Amino acid sequence: MKKECVGSFILLWLSIALLTIPARPQETAGIFEQPLLITSAGQNAEVQIAAVLAKRAGLNYTLSKQATAADLENMKTLVIVLGASLKGLGAAGLDMGKERERVMALITAAQKTQVPLLCLHLGGEVRRGRQTDDLIAEVLPLAKMVIVVKSGNGDRFFTKLCQPKNIPLIEVEKTADVQIPLQKAFK
Amino acid sequence: MSKHRNHRAAGLVCLALCAASLLAPSCQRPREIISRPPANRHTPYSYVGRRAMVVAAHPLAVKAGLEMLRRGGNAVDGAIATAAALNAAEPFASGIGGGGFMIIHLAREKRTTVVNFREKAPHLASPRMFKDKGEKEKEWRASSGLAVAVPGALAGWDLALRKYGKRTLAEALAGAIAIAEQGFAVSPTFSSINRDEYERLVKNLPEGSCYLNAGLPYEPGDRFRNPDLARTLRLIASSGVKEFYQGEIGRKLVAAVQAKGGIMTSEDLASYKALELEPLQGSYKDVTILTAPPPASGGLHLIQFLNVIERWPVRTWGQNSVPYVHHLSEALRFIFADRERYLGDPDFVSVPVHWLISRDYAAGIVSRVRDDRPLESYPFGEYKQEEKDAANTTHLCVLDRDGNIVALTQSINDFFGTGIVPEGTGFLLNDHMDDFAADEQSVNAPGPGHRPMSSMGPLILFRSGRPFLALGSPGGPRIFSSLTQIVLNVTEFGMGLDEAIEAPRFFSFSSGGKPGPIAVEARFPGEVLTALRAMGQEVEVREAYDKYFGGAQGIMVLRDKKIVLGGADSRRDGVGAGY
């Protein structure tokens, strides 16, 4: 009984100690190279906003809403804007199954050619939901960095996915605020 | 008036006071009943009044309408004040760059009439005008100058006011001008729609346009102001609608349309006339339905749908039960086949309205529906599923102290219309040319001066000759299906008005004779969806409260209780207020 108590105490102490060790600051500046390919996962409208923010940030980008592996040629970074839109999927003649296949094939191709992945979620709370979350859960662990509009991470969904993989996660208040960390992220 | 504030306790107190006041002698001036909705916007909540009520898709528009009623305006004055205010407060859904339909019940005369202010095609329109654009057809139909039909809103508002109102157009526009000038905090609904339509807006809006916030979509809480619209409306208020149809505003409108590849001319604009029509009449059991006739199709199909449903034991089946959803979806598929085949502008094509709404015709549909599985084909016509699923448009209802009622549906078609704004005017132009059929042989093909078929269907329902429910909704081709479900929720399932509006909805259609999926809100029980799938139905689950299914507004008159109820849809920003 006494041994069990001591064991539990040590385990508890170790847990607390591990939690309180300051994490190594995560690098979020100058970690990606240009040019970048911007696409969406879920045919959301925010992909267009991401392109405008990239333009304002002075980045050399190409926007392709339904990008495939072929579009990765000469690209040094893949930017995926996360969020499922039934409207967008309908307009593109896609369903979530086909969209998932496209996105995962694109990421696989990017990994093969060592093109890193930057994920954005710009739609806030309203661009969450089961379909979006399922896709995010699959894509996010493969990212090198993530930028989200804060209201979309109210339940710490992104935090919970990023922390175990030590993926840098930047939260911003408003969509327009994404421009600065986006700019800084690129060399 | 916002549904987001938590004043449940205050609301209960106010309702208790209201009940007490009903017991007291009612000889004093009517007092406003301050309705405080619950914190959860989706919780069914009926706004309560004793004699008058306004319901619409934005609190500021409701306020403008109610102010008009308080100042002695009648339901028509209140409706036009609300409609104009929606142009300022909900500019993405309707406005003077668009059109619509209104149904007016005049209590003293015991008469109901319809004003058709649907847009018209320019005189250079032709059946192949979009087809000839080849691969770019879709773009031309929705976001170019060619997509813009001649707007009818101002002509319709003006006609209604001059004939049935007590106030001037200038008075009716005052609320809208104030909203446009002072602005308001953008709601999550506004923000999400602004973001969804961003691509089109970026394409067509000039730099610095108020419809984007420094070039990006508005976020909830951002302030939206439209001083250009305020100036435009002030000019119309002082010079009349001729300023829009024949004056400087009109010239800017035509220039903007032509600059984006459109064919509208000053003559098209100058010759636009709103029409007054006899309402279309149908019935469901003891309820008489009056609605807008073609080219509005919503009311006609609602009557057709209810004729079919009347032959089924829906009350026994239960609301949103497996047989209910299955049978109604099957009926919808037949109706959509008819819609594509027969509906067009009755000024130019023969629409077999009375045949379609006959009970014999309904019996034919009933006999074809199988109890156990979907059919393989629905052979009456071909409804092309819209690739876009916008739930644009807006609806309002107004009841005045004399019992006059207006149900008004208006639109600029897609949210933010074409995204084209005539220089310095602040109003968005419609893309209602997209409501014409793609098939050049269709009865609804574009043609000079034709009005495109509309899905709108403002309704007034009567029992024993007296109006008891005014209703309408946006939602494109889903309008009549959603309105039918609300009517059934009230008449068959005993729901209160807002409970009926908020209840989970479904929709289906047929395309090329083949069944489309049954779209359902995520609140449907899993076992119902499992059973429908087991019958062979394809089911598509959407959001729990999805504006795809519309944003209905209604007013119910409870004569026995001497109160009126307002119901407003939480799928958008619907609210109500009464006194």
Domain ranges (residues) in chain A: 26-185
Q: Decide if B393 is catalytic.
A: yes
Q: pLDDT tens across B358-412, in order?
A: 998 899 899 999 999 999 888 764 434 444 555 579 999 999 999 999 999 999 9
Instruction: Out of B393, B418, B425, B491, pick the active-site residue.
Output: B393
Determine phi and psi for B260, rounding to 5 degrees.
Answer: -105, 25
Residue B88 near residue B402, CB atoms below 8 Å: no
> How far does Cα B408 stand from its chain's mean position?
7
**Which member of A45, A52, A126 has the closest CB to residue B188?**
A126
Contacts of A93 in chain B (CB under 8 A): 387
User: Is there a contact between B217 and A175 if contact means CB atoms under 8 Å apart?
Assistant: yes
Q: Which of A40, A44, A47, A48 to mutate to test the interface with B (most CBs of B within 10 A)?
A: A48
Average pLDDT over residues A160-172: 94
Q: Does a structural domain hold residue B318?
A: yes
Q: What's the domain range around B535? A: 277-388+458-559
User: Is there a contact between A93 and B197 if contact means CB atoms under 8 Å apart?
Assistant: no
3-state helix, strand, coil in chain B (%, to 5): 40, 15, 45
CB hemisphere CA count around A183 (13 angstroms): 11
Burial group, residue B317, by CB count within 10 angstroms (0-12, 13-18, 19+) = middle
Domain spanning A26-185: CATH 2.60.220 = no
Average pLDDT over residues A136-159: 94
Which one, of B152, B200, B158, B244, lies nearest residue B452 by Cα?
B152
Instruction: Say which residue the tokens 């809100």 belong to.
Output: B521
Which CATH number characterizes residue B281's domain? 1.10.246.130
User: Is there a contact between B199 and A93 if contact means CB atoms under 8 Å apart?
Assistant: no
Q: Does a structural domain hold residue B356?
A: yes
- For chain B, residues with pLDDT lower than 70 are 1-36, 380-391
pLDDT value for B13: 44
Average pLDDT over residues A102-125: 95
Q: Per the structure, how many domains does chain B have?
A: 1
pLDDT value for B197: 92
State the DSSP code for B296: B
Question: What residue of B is the nearest CA neighbor of A176?
Answer: B216
pLDDT value for B35: 55
The sign of the dihedral angle between the CA atoms of B51, B187, B410, B460 is: negative
Q: What angle do CA B354, B355, B356 make, to 5 degrees?
A: 90
User: Is there a contact between B219 and A175 if contact means CB atoms under 8 Å apart?
Assistant: yes
Rounded CA-CA distance B483/B471 in Å is 8
Contacts of A90 in chain B (CB under 8 A): 387-389
Rounded CA-CA distance B137/B140 in Å is 5
End-to-end alpha carbon distance in chain A? 58
Q: Is the pLDDT of residue A56 over 50?
A: yes
Q: Which of B187, B196, B573 to mutate to test the interface with A (most CBs of A within 10 A)?
A: B196
User: Is there a contact between B195 and A45 if contact means CB atoms under 8 Å apart?
Assistant: yes
Q: Does a structural domain hold residue B111?
A: no
- Tokens matching residue B221: 């809480």
Q: pLDDT tens across B440-453, in order?
A: 888 899 999 999 99
Q: Does a structural domain hold residue B427?
A: no
Q: Does a structural domain hold residue B506?
A: yes
Please check whether residue B559 touches A, CB under 8 A.
no
Q: Does a structural domain hold residue B544?
A: yes
Q: Does a structural domain hold residue B495?
A: yes
Mean pLDDT value across chain A: 88
User: Is there a contact between B196 and A126 if contact means CB atoms under 8 Å apart?
Assistant: no
User: Is there a contact between B215 and A174 if contact means CB atoms under 8 Å apart?
Assistant: no
Please check whether residue B137 touches A, CB under 8 A.
no
Separation in Å, CA B307 to CA A54, B289, B355: 56, 12, 12
Rounded CA-CA distance B423/B249 in Å is 9
pLDDT value for B390: 57
**Which member of B191, B197, B389 has the closest CB to residue A86?**
B389
pLDDT value for A128: 86
Q: Does a structural domain hold residue B101?
A: no
